[in-house]
């Protein structure tokens, strides 16, 4: 069964460092998303990406964040200068077309120290 895969599963970084979280969405999907879940809190939308551009982003997705689809398979989230409060589980998701559910990856746990 096709699945969304994320690497790494756990990333520890120093405050102020840049991190890149990687995702391989399901191959024939068109819409790509990043969500995050801070420990003990709800899953929050960060950004959606369609047709090689951001289609929607939340207030969380400020100038420190960027997304890229550098080739036909990967979808990356970059945090330019990490802060302690960026520590969370980051989930990538993808979906096919309208009215279909989003499939989530297993997540990357980012710990900023």
Pairing of strands 5-7, 19-24: antiparallel
In the three-class reduction of DSSP (H, G, I as helix; E, B as strand; rest coil), residue 104 is classed as strand
Site string for another protein, 9-48 (x = CB under 8 A): ----------------------x-x-x-----xxxxx--x
96: its two tokens: 């096919």
Residue 93: Cβ within 10 Å count: 24
Which one of 17, 73, 74, 100 is in contact with another protein (CB under 8 A)? 100
Cβ closest to another protein, residue 15 vs residue 53: 53
Tell the burial category of 67 from Cβ atoms under 10 Å away from its Cβ (0-12, 13-18, 19+): buried
- Distance from the Cα of residue 112 to its chain's centroid: 16
Nearer to another protein, 102 or 112 (CB): 102
Shorter beta-carbon distance to another protein: residue 24 or 43: 43
Binding region for another protein (CB under 8 A)? 4, 6, 31, 33, 35, 41-45, 48, 50, 55-56, 58, 91, 93, 95-107
């Amino acid at each position: 069964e096709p699945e969304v895969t994320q690497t790494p599963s756990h990333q520890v970084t120093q405050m102020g460092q840049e991190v890149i979280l990687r995702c391989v969405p399901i191959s024939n999907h068109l819409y790509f998303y990043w969500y995050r879940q801070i420990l003990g809190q709800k899953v929050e939308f960060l950004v959606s990406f369609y047709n090689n551009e951001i289609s929607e982003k939340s207030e969380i997705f400020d100038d420190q964040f960027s997304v890229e689809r550098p080739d036909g398979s990967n979808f990356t989230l970059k945090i330019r200068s990490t802060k302690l409060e960026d520590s969370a589980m980051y989930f990538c998701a993808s979906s096919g077309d309208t009215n279909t559910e989003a499939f989530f990856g297993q997540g990357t746990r980012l710990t900023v120290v």
